[in-house]
Structure 1
Amino acid sequence: MKPHPDFENIDVPQVFSLADYHLKILTKADLDEDYAAVMNSAAVLQGLFDPQWPVGMTRDEDLTDLEWHHREFTARRSFAWVIRDAAGGYLGCAYLAPDIGTRGRGAAVWWFTDTPGRMAHLSAFGPLYEHWLRQMLPETYQLDLHSNAHL
């Protein structure tokens, strides 16, 4: 698989920190935590990616998704990270996906689990993530930003 043209010459890190948030490439090693987090947060995730997701998602389907995310990341086609707190707790995920078939445009999406601190995390993380992305990406890159703050 060839890299997306927007990312041929950009070194997107697999691991990095944004203040108290620690991001690491999302892989099948995260399956148990990811599946629990997604299914326990379905009420605040439904509609973020698809009108029905994650309702009805099976553990095997999540494993397939995680393997796909890992393959896409290593091929430099799209990027997905798990977001953890300083203690290593699973907080949510962040994604960067260039538009397929075009250049200079993509989407950044992030979500946090359905916990009492979710809105505070979304408010704190969003500006950090956007700033980091804008520093990494070309100045003219058009970036659509989405989170589960509205859900």
Structure 2
Amino acid sequence: MTRPDKLQYRPCVGTMMINSRGEAFVGKRIDNKEGDWWQMPQGGVDDGEDLDEAMFRELGEETGVTTRHLQIVHRLEEELYYDLPPELHGKLWGGKYKGQRQAWYLVRFTGEDSDIDLEAFKHPEFCEWKWVDPDLLPELIVPFKRGVYETVVTGFKPHL
């Protein structure tokens, strides 16, 4: 299989944040009114930004969790790619990208549920959140990201 052209994919980080019971955090996106889809935190990497810094920044922006409650457990070696479905082409990221390339992290959350604040930043991305069994993650995400989530769950399973 040939590797996708990196320039066509938005650089991004994704995070599986797990609690002390080994459950994964998922949030329900505010802007997705089409279905009952839940996702793990993810977001773009700024030009010149270190991946670890981007992951902590994005996770903080989406969950309100600070680095004092987080420990990096593992990062997948390979970036994962997904393409946007045709109905979203040209509608996201100024039409510049056809999908995302993601560096995925597994982090342990050491805080309390009360440390999670979806409204900690000006523009929240999630309207609800919950902890779920990691094996359920591929069933909860929008279908075009399902393959990525299957790879993430398989890749992190030895570290859960």
Do they superpose with TM above 0.5? Answer: no
| More helix, by proportion | 1
Greater relative contact order structure (CA < 8 Å, 6+ sep): 2
TM-score in terms of structure 1 length: 0.30
| More strand, by proportion | 2
